[in-house]
Structure 1
Amino acid sequence: MDHFTTTDGVRLAYSIDDFTDPWRPSQPLILLHSAMSCMERLRTWMPRLVRHFRVIRMDLRGHGQSEVPGPDSELTIDRLIEDIRELMALAEVPAAHFVGTSAGGYLSMRMAMDHPDAVRSLSLFGSTPGFKGGQAQAWLPRIRTEGLRNFLADTITDRFPKDMIDTDRVNWFLDQAGSTEPKFLERFILLMDGQDWSDELHKITCPTLLVVPGAGKIGDYSGFDRMKESISRVDLRVYENMPHNVWDSQPERCVEDTLDFLGNEGFLEPQGTAANLSAQSKETVA
């Protein structure tokens, strides 16, 4: 993990990991987390991703190991996008594949709409076209009175399957997500609650993987229908009976679907001895 300071003076945490074959060109992939999260929550994604991509993660401002901005600091979608662009400049990455979970997907979409040359592909997990029409107005009073961790524990089945409740994984999630600074989180949620770019989805022209949690209740899920209709190149995959946080509960499946999608789009080459032997076997059969 390292840190950089944005042009408006906020210190943000980031990490760059690359275990691709050193004799191959390394493609950058930017992995963006959800609200109340951090890059560490996507740790289990890393072993498979870093064999294929130079993976760049960051803690969004006010999250994880990044600085919590003061109450008078700017908090807009444009500012969050600028944070990403400044990290890309630091990493000398003009364009990348973007993978986003929930709010991280919102920002990935905005990157694809506003800076299309910087986005080679999108992989979106539980990300509708903004959070307008979501549950923010109902959440905030409960968070203020109950506390964030208690609120998350009481609504845990909105995020995890019932058979995972009271497991170490879910308890760790509650500790991590519940540690988000409440006043900043309220600002962040209210910002996202005002976003709806359904009428701009046609601007997304890159290949897009859209993963829909089949039993999701967070956000306006009719947005997925609008995305399917408006984005020209969509690979839609539904995780039946899965609540919203599929990236937390089904990390291996999420990574495999991401790699499968990117492979189908021609962004991946077979790697390693096993892949070469498989290719030779196919040639022999042919």
Structure 2
Amino acid sequence: MQVYGEHYAAARRNTQRATIAPGLDIAYVVDDYTDGWADPPLVMLLHGIAESAEAYAAWVPTLARRCRVVRVDLRGYGLSSPVHEHDALTIDQLADDIDALAARLGGPIHVVGAKLGAQVALELAQRGVPWMATLTLAGVLISPGGALGKWVDDWLGLVDRSGVEGWARATMPGRMGAALSAEAMLWWARYMGWAPADTVKACLRMLPRLAEPARLEAVRCPTQVIVAVQPERPGAYDQRQSVAEVRRWQSRIPGSVLVELQADAYHIAATHPDDCAAITLNFIERISS
């Protein structure tokens, strides 16, 4: 864990921390290259399992010139407070963390979520938190329990036998599809391998409990869902989903829009960061105008 923390501390110069409860700090990176006289929108980016604020680094050039960007380390990742393997981690807890952080930052805040971060963002949107200005989902499984639950025991075994990097390597094709080069796939596996095994296992154990949200109709903030349109090429641990399935649940969110992206991947926030960031910026500026 110490080596993990040192890795991020050495690489970052703009990390801030908020103590949101006794013994619980949430770290975040602020990127702001806006004009000094501007009043830019605030955008918060929430990452997936075995990631950290660095997962959104490629989004920064597009977003940070026009927005103040906050890239969060979810609990247990990056420089946020650790999680232990057998902690009873829940989406509610992770959402509470972000709600408390948002109170410190001040609203309104435009939220982007991918993977685990999308689950957290959806929970907050269903609560109707007043500070959430818009919601963008860039890669989300609406029922992680249904889609991934059957693999959790296998994945826990992979982490125990091969470490987080070994698990990331084995599952990377199902996450990234054919959208990345071999060099990029290796980079992502090594990067995800920095994540603490305790946190990753706690998150994996949480997945079977995550069913399709029951309150999507309660979401009131403007919402867009970015979905990959890809050929049917199933493989090991394939996490991709059809546009029809995404449209089915997206249509439950009042007034939401679906944006189709030509991509052979599930984790489009990683495989197509420039496209996703541009789509997000356009949505934020259109809603804010």
TM over 0.5: yes
Q: Are residue 235 (structure 1) and residue 257 (structure 2) matched?
A: yes
The alpha-carbon deviation at position 115 of structure 1 amounts to: 3.2
SS of alignment partner, residue 158 of structure 2: helix
Query: Conserved in 2, the CA contact under 8 Å of 1:31 and 1:100?
Result: yes
Bigger Rg over Cα: 1
Give the match for residue 185 of structure 2.
170
Q: Give the one of 224, 236, 240 matched to 1:209.
A: 224
Report what 1:185 is aligned to.
Answer: 200
* Contact 1:134/1:220 (8 A) holds in 2: no
- Stretches of structure 2 that go unaligned for 5 or more consecutive residues are 1-14
SS across alignment from 2:144: coil
Q: Structure 2 matches for 1:1-286, cutoff 5 A?
A: 1-71=15-85, 73=87, 75-91=89-105, 93-138=106-151, 139-162=155-178, 164-167=180-183, 169-215=184-230, 217-218=238-239, 224-265=246-287, 267=288
Aligned residues: 265
* 2:134–2:221 Cα contact (<8 Å) kept: yes
Output the amino acid matched with 2:165: R
Moved more, 73-82 or 241-250: 73-82
Contact 1:135 1:219 in 2 (8 A): no
Asked whether the 8 Å contact 2:179–2:265 carries over to 1, the reply is no
- Aligned residues: percent identity? 24
C-alpha distance after superposition, 1:175-223 (max 9, x if no partner): 1112222232111122233112432110112211101123493277675
8 Å contact kept, 2:227–2:260: yes
Q: Distance in 2 between matches of 1:135 and 1:253?
A: 26
Contact 1:125 1:210 in 2 (8 A): yes
Query: In structure 2, the residue corresponding to 1:31 is in which secondary structure?
Result: strand
The answer for unaligned runs of 5 or more in structure 1 is 269-286
1:80 Cα shift? 0.9
CA 1:210 to 1:189, structure 2 compared with 1: closer, same or farther past 3 Å? same
Q: CA deviation at 1:130?
A: 4.2
Question: What is the alpha-carbon distance in structure 1 between the residues aligned to residue 220 and residue 19 of structure 2?
Answer: 32
Distance of 2:63 and 2:210 partners within structure 1: 30
Point out the more displaced range, 80-89 or 128-137. 128-137
Quick check: 1:27–1:54 contact (8 Å CA) kept in 2?
Answer: yes
Measured on the aligned residues, the alpha-carbon RMSD in Å equals: 2.3
**Contact 2:179–2:271 (CA under 8 A) maintained in structure 1:** no
TM-score, length basis structure 2? 0.82
The 1:25–1:165 alpha-carbon spacing in structure 2 relative to 1, beyond 3 Å, is closer
Distance verdict in 2 for CA 1:150–1:69, change over 3 Å:
closer
Alpha carbons 1:19, 1:52 under 8 Å: kept: yes
Residues 165 and 154 of structure 1: is their aligned pair in 2 closer, same or farther, counting only changes over 3 Å?
farther
Letter paired with 1:211:
I
Q: Secondary structure at the match of 1:198?
A: coil
The answer to whether the 8 Å contact 2:26/2:101 transfers is: no
Q: 1:198 touches 1:227 (CA, 8 Å); kept in 2?
A: no
